Each structure stands twice: as C-alpha cells, then as structure tokens.
C-alpha cells in the first residue's frame, strides 16, 4: 500500500491523500474521488474513507481522498463562487491534477450525505466522470414510505419510549431553548433538486454512460424507508439502469463498525463489478 | 503549511508542519489530538491553533497517531503505549525539521494524558499544556460509555450492541485495558518544565494533579476558563493557549 500527500489546485490550496497499491494497478481503472462528509475531513466518519481507499487500492483502483476548499487541511478558495460551485471547481482541480501527474482519464465520484452535492454537480459538469455513488444522497418521500413510516412509528416500543423521554426532556428546557430547537434544523437544511429536475439530470448522466449507485440507510432515515423506493420517488424509469442498495439496519453515518465494514465491501464490490478488469502495471511520474 | 508523512517507512505517520509565519522564536510545539469522535471535533480547532502559533513565530507540528486520521494502520492496532511512541516520533521530527533542542507539547483530552506521560519520560520537552486533560482513564471510559448509552437511547431505531465498539469506533480489549490504566495522579512525574492546564470546569482531579506537579515542575498554572458560547474549543481557549506558550518563551 502506498499513500502519499497530494497538494494541488489554485495556489496549491487543496490537500489530499492518494492511495495506490504498491505493485499492480489497473491501467484503465478509473480513479476514485472521495471528499468531505458534512464538515468532517477527508478521513470520513469513523474513518470510512481511509478503509475504503485502502480496500480499493488493493484491487487496483487509485483513490484520492481530499478536502474541499475551506475544509480540513485545504485553503479557502477566493473568487466568490457559491458553495456548490466551489465544490465542482475543487473536484475538477483534482481531476486535472491527477490527469497531468498520473495520466488519469476517468473517475468515479462518491458523495456521502451533503457530499452528494459535489459528486452530483461534477458528474453533470464533467465528462471525465464515469461513475457516481451517492451514500445517503437525494431522497424524496413516497406514499408507500409514509404508510410504512407511520405504521412503524405506531408499533415500535423503542419509538414510544424515545418520544416519552423527549417530551420529558422538553419540559425541562427554558422557553428560549425550546425556541432554538428548530434553528438547528434550519442550519442543516439543504436544497434538493426537484424530483423532475433530478430525473432529467439522471437521464442525462445515463445517456452519457455514467454508472450510478445510490445507497440509503434505513435505521435513522426519515425520508427513505424501503428497498426500491429510489425507483418510485421521481418520474422516470430507472429500474435496471441505476443500482440501489438499501441497508435498513444502518444509521445515517453507518456508525456501527460492522455496518461500516459491510458498506466498504459493498462499495468496493460495486466498483469492481462495474469497472474492474485484470490489473496491469501502472506507474506514476 | 506542509502536509507530509514521517516516521518509520513501514508505518508512516501523517503530519502537518506549520513553519513560523513571523519572527522565528526558535521554539516548537507538537500538538497532540484527542482520539475517537473527539478527534473529529478537534481537527478544525487544531488547524486554527497551529496557524495562530505559527503567526506568533512558533514551529508547529500536528500529527495523527497510528490507526487514526491519515496515518498508517487500523485503530485496533493502537493503544496508549503505541500512541506515546508516536508522540515521541513527532517530537523527534519537529526537532529535526526546525533544528531545535527541545519542544513544547499541547494535548487535548486523551492527547493531554499522552503528552503528559511523554513529557515526564523525556528530557527534551520544556513545557506541556494539558487542555481539558483526561486525568483518569477509567473516568474517560465511563464518559464514553455514558455517551454511547445516550446515543442508543435517542436513536430513532434500536442499534445493535457491539462490546468492542464505542461511539462509532472500535474499542478492542487491549486498548480499553490500557486506557483504563491511565492515571496521571499515579504517574511518577519528575517533570521539571512548565505546566499549563486549561479547563472549562473546575474538577478536583485537576487541582490534585496541579498540586502534585508543583513539587518538581518549574511552574504550574491551572486556568479555569468557562466555555464561551463558541464552545470549549473556541477562539477564547485558543487565545489563552497561544498566550501561555508565548509567555513560556518570553
């Protein structure tokens, strides 16, 4: 396993770690790009990106984990672009750098939670993206989801206990604290594309030949609740064209090590299936 | 700032070196992160602290322990013994990089306990800053277990129990055993340099540690600074830390 620091981008402000196998790499394998999850660094929650990078490198896929501008160890990008525009510029800087230095031609981008915006944005903007994975990405409730959700809530003893505890805890709060409860939700609210727009964008990506995997957890999810929801939550026929993985037992950040390890295997397995071939020697410059 | 790998080739450690960004004080600071979920919260404040210290003329190295962050290995391979060796490797690296004979250590939470033990065992650490220190490992484990219980209680769905994990991180028996055995009050100190302790809450074990250190240390300063709205890792804490280290080299 070979891990080295890569510093790149405008004024060499972006910082990442490139992970490659020591000996063999697949000359035509795409390079995998991983970035921040929420405000966490390139390491990922529970160090998931480190584990995934090492697992994929062992299969011949180079992986760059890097911090978007203004996060982790990367510098702030000047120029006044919006957060989502900056993320796309950062991702393209990463691709340009890997193309120049190592001859990388195509990429698989993986976005986790809010990182989906960067992955999806660059996939739309840059034809070098050959694959895209969302983990806990865009999701929209369906009628079936709502029925199941309410039934589960009514029948779950754990939920009733949690509800009672939360109401008791609320009684102990001051009026000011109660008012501020909703503020956190406002801070963490993100704008999703409309269902119609997302559907059109996915069609565009599929038309370009981009392979897509969408992964959703179930345990913590208030929007996504059953296997196959992806194909019912927006217009368009995506069954058989987009891969979906639903992990009902995992929470939003896959915090249980067992779930995290399983997710690493699932993501690596999907990339191997979709982009794998016999490894050949590959050298950097 | 310069990110790089250092240490043995078969298990490199990731570090970020911040050279002085002002008149060189000829003084170095090694920053010792906390571990587990606390590492995730500390990364940004540590970056800010490193930048501010560099602006005050210090050479600064912050680094990831074995099995954490970008460093080699899996967390399961780590233990306080291993992490103390890593602190030692970081001290050596910064001394070589900056051409210094001694350095200061700043450690947060479990990182403070590691920094303290390393400082006691070496001749080339002139000052140790214990920031919200973990004084007793078994208390720390209990706090982690309480937080884990809270997480389960407030989760929307029942979470599986994993006796070898706490708060999303593996917690294997050897690591747990060594952490439980950490006790700064039971560590024979003999540390002759300067000690600064910064905490948001006044706790008896911190006072007891400060009292014991007074016997040998050149100076011991215990600062209780109630957490600002920005939190215990906020700007006010960073300002106090930079000022304390500046005072040490004045």
Place of tokens 């106090």: B240
Contact B156 A220 (CB under 8 A): yes
Q: Is the pLDDT of residue B6 over 90?
A: yes
Stated pTM of the model? 0.91
Closest CA in chain A for residue B68? A47
% of chain B residues with pLDDT over 70 = 99
Same domain? For A170 and A43 the reply is no
**A30-72 pLDDT, tens per residue?**
999 999 998 899 999 999 999 999 999 999 999 999 999 999 9
Helix and strand numbers, DSSP H then E, in chain A: 8, 8
Rg (CA), chain B: 18
Q: Is residue A281 part of a domain?
A: no
pLDDT band at B230 (very low <50, low <70, confident <90, very high): low
By C-alpha distance, the chain B residue nearest A72 is B44
The answer to whether position A282 is within a domain reads no
Spatial strand order of the sheet with B13-18 comes to: B2-6, B13-18, B59-63, B28-32, B103-108, B125-131, B194-199, B219-224
Give B47-96 pLDDT, tens digit per residue.
999 999 999 999 999 999 999 999 999 999 999 999 999 999 999 999 99
Interface check A39 vs B, CB under 8 A: yes
Does residue A153 share a domain with residue A265?
A: no
CATH (domain of A47): 3.40.50.1820
Q: Could you tell me if A249 lies within 8 Å of chain B, comparing CB atoms?
A: yes
* A vs B: CB pairs below 8 A: 80
The Cα–Cα gap between B33 and B46 comes to 8
**Lookup: tokens for B27:** 């003084």
In a domain, residue A285? The reply is: no
Does residue A189 form part of some domain? no
A241 and A114 in a common domain: yes
Q: For chain B, give the percent of residues with pLDDT over 90.
A: 79
Look at chain A and report how many structural domains it folds into: 2
Are A130 and A246 contained in the same domain? Answer: yes
pLDDT of residue A280: 42
The alpha-carbon gap from A255 to the nearest alpha carbon of chain B, in Å, equals 4
> How many percent of chain A have pLDDT more than 70?
89
For the stretch A55-59, contacts whose Cβ atoms lie closer than 8 Å and that sit 24 or more positions apart, written own/partner, are A55/A264, A55/A265, A55/A268, A56/A19, A56/A32, A56/A268, A56/A271, A57/A1, A57/A2, A57/A19, A57/A20, A57/A21, A58/A1, A58/A21, A59/A21, A59/A268, A59/A271, A59/A272, A59/A276, A59/A279
Q: Among candidates A20, A13, A155, which has minimal Cα distance to A97?
A: A13
Kindly report, residue by residue over B123-167, the tens digit of the pLDDT.
999 999 999 999 999 999 999 999 988 888 777 777 777 778 888
Min distance A221 CA to chain B CA atoms (Å): 8
Structural domain that includes position A157:
149-182
Where is the domain boundary, A159, A182, A205? Answer: A182
pLDDT band at A284 (very low <50, low <70, confident <90, very high): very low
**With 70 as the cut, is the pLDDT of residue A278 above it?**
no
Q: Are residues A24 and A53 located together in one domain of the fold?
A: yes
Per DSSP, the three-state class of B40 is helix
Q: Do both A238 and A100 map to the same domain?
A: yes
Please give the residue that has the higher pLDDT: either B154 or B216.
B216
Nearest-CA distance A253 → chain B (Å) = 9
CB contact under 8 A, B168 and A257: yes
Closest by Cα among A45, A88, A44, A50 to A69: A88
Give A118-165 pLDDT, tens digit per residue.
Answer: 999 999 999 999 999 999 999 999 999 888 878 877 777 777 777 777
């Amino acid at each position: 396993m070979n891990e080295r620091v890569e510093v790149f981008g405008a004024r060499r402000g972006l910082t990442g770690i490139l992970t490659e196998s020591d000996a063999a790499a697949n000359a035509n394998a795409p390079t995998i790009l991983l970035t921040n999850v929420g405000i966490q660094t390139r390491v990922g929650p529970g160090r998931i990106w480190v584990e995934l990078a090492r697992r994929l490198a062992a299969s011949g896929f180079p992986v760059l984990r890097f911090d978007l501008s203004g996060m982790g160890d990367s510098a702030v990008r000047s120029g006044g672009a919006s957060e989502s525009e900056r993320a796309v510029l950062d991702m393209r800087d990463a691709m340009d750098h890997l193309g120049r230095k190592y001859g990388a031609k195509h990429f698989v981008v993986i976005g986790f939670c809010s990182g989906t915006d960067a992955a999806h944005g660059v996939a739309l903007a840059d034809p070098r993206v050959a694959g895209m994975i969302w983990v806990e990405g865009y999701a929209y409730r369906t009628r079936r989801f709502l029925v199941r959700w309410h039934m589960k809530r009514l029948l779950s003893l754990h939920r009733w206990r949690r509800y009672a505890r939360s109401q008791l805890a609320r009684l102990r709060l001051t009026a000011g604290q109660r008012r501020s409860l909703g503020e956190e939700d406002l801070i963490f609210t993100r704008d999703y594309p409309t269902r119609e727009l997302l559907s059109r964008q996915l069609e565009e990506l599929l038309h370009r030949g981009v392979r897509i995997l969408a992964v959703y957890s179930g345990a913590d999810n208030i929007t996504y609740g059953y296997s196959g929801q992806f194909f019912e939550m927006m217009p368009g026929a995506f069954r058989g064209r987009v891969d979906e993985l639903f992990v009902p037992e995992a929470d939003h950040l896959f915090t249980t090590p067992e779930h995290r390890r399983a997710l690493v295997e699932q993501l690596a397995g999907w990339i191997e299936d979709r982009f794998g071939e016999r490894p050949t020697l590959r050298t950097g410059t | 700032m310069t990110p790089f790998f250092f240490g043995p080739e078969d298990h490199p450690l990731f570090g970020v070196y911040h050279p002085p960004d002002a008149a060189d004080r000829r003084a170095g600071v090694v920053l010792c992160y906390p571990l587990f979920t606390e590492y995730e919260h500390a990364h940004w404040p540590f970056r800010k602290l490193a930048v501010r210290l560099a602006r005050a003329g210090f050479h600064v190295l912050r680094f990831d322990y074995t099995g954490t962050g970008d460093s080699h290995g899996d967390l399961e391979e780590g233990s306080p013994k291993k992490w103390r060796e890593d602190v030692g490797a970081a001290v050596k690296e910064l001394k070589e990089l900056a051409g210094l004979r001694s350095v200061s250590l700043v450690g947060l939470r479990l990182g403070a306990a590691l920094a303290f033990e390393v400082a006691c065992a070496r001749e080339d650490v002139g000052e140790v800053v214990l920031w919200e220190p973990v004084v007793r490992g078994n208390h720390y484990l209990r706090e982690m277990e309480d937080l884990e219980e809270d997480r389960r209680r407030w989760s929307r769905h029942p979470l599986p129990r994993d006796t070898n994990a706490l708060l999303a991180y593996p917690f294997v028996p050897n690591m747990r055993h060594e952490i439980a055995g950490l006790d700064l009050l039971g560590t024979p100190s003999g540390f002759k340099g300067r000690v600064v302790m910064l905490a948001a809450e006044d706790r008896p074990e911190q006072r007891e540690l400060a009292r014991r250190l007074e016997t040998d240390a050149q100076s011991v300063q215990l600062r209780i600074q109630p957490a600002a709205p920005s939190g215990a890792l906020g700007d006010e804490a960073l300002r106090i830390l930079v000022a304390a280290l500046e005072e040490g080299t004045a």
